Amino acid sequence: MSAESFSLGSVALAFALWYFSFAWRWGVFWFKIAGSAALLAGLAWLWLGSGRVMPLFTLEARDLSWGVGSALLLYLVFWVGRTLATRLLPFSRAEIISVYAKRGQTPLALIALLLLLVTGPGEELYWRGGLQTALMGLLGPWGGWLLATGLYALVHIWTRNFTLIMAALIAGLFWGGLYLVTGSLTPVIISHSLWSVAIFALWPLR
C-alpha cells in the first residue's frame, strides 16, 4: 500500500471512528476511544511493517526525560490556556466542563489505565508514527507535520466543541514537533500518555 493510499484510507477511517467515539451515544466513551486508537495503531503497524516500526522506538535515558518533561510543559501550557480561554472566550468554560462530564462514566483508575496503556500509545503510533511519517514522506518534514496536525485537530469536529478542537490542534503541534525533533515515538508516547492521565484523571483543568 502506498503512502497516499494509507493516508487517505486511514484518515477516512479515523473520521468514522472519532464520530463513533464522540458523537454516537451508544457505549462508554473511554472504551470507544481506546478501541478506536488501538484499531488505527494496528493499521499503522501493518502498513509500516515491523521492520519500519521498531526503529521508531528507542530506549535511551533522554527518552524518559523528554517524555516526562514535555508532558509537564504541555500541562502547564494548557493550565495557562484554560485561564486565558475562560477569560477571553466565556463560552469555553461550558465546553471544558462538557469534556469532563464523561469522567463519570467509568472509574477514574480504569480511565487512567486506558489512557496510559492503550489510548495514548495507540494514538501516537497512528497519528505520528503512521500518518505523520507517511505525510512527511510525501510533503517533507514540515509539510507532513503540519498536515498531520491539522487532520488530528479536524477529526475532533464531531465534538462540536471549539475549545476541544483548539486543544487538539495545540497538542498535535506539540507532539508532532516532538516526534520531528527526536525522531522517536518513545518520548512522544510517554508525553501523551502521562499528560492524558494528568489532565483527565489526576488534575483536571475545569
Q: Contact, 56 vs 184, CB < 8 A?
A: yes
pLDDT score, position 53: 87
pLDDT score, position 60: 85
Q: Return the residue matching grid coordinates 521492520.
A: 51
**Model confidence band, residue 80 (pLDDT cutoffs 50, 70, 90):** very high
pLDDT score, position 167: 96
Percent of the chain with pLDDT over 70: 100
Amino acid type, 62: R
Q: How many domains does the chain have?
A: 1
d(CA 126, CA 70): 20
Average pLDDT over residues 186-198: 97
pLDDT score, position 1: 78
Average pLDDT over residues 117-129: 97
Copy the grid coordinates of residue 75: 500541562
Q: Please tell me the pTM assigned to this model.
A: 0.94
Average pLDDT over residues 130-140: 95
CA 119, 120, 122, 126 torsion: positive or negative?
Answer: positive
pLDDT score, position 196: 97
**Model confidence band, residue 6 (pLDDT cutoffs 50, 70, 90):** confident
Rounded to 10°, the helix 162-182/91-100 angle is 70
Residue 199, pLDDT above cutoff 90: yes
Residue range of the domain that includes 128: 3-202
Between the CA of residue 165 and those of 20, 42, 68, 139, what are the distances in Å?
Answer: 17, 25, 24, 24
Q: What's the pLDDT tens digit per position in 89-114?
A: 889 999 888 889 888 888 999 999 99
Q: State the average pLDDT for the chain.
A: 93
DSSP 137-152: HHHHHHHHHHHHHHHH
pLDDT score, position 51: 82
pLDDT score, position 40: 97
d(CA 54, CA 11): 23
Copy the grid coordinates of residue 193: 500518555
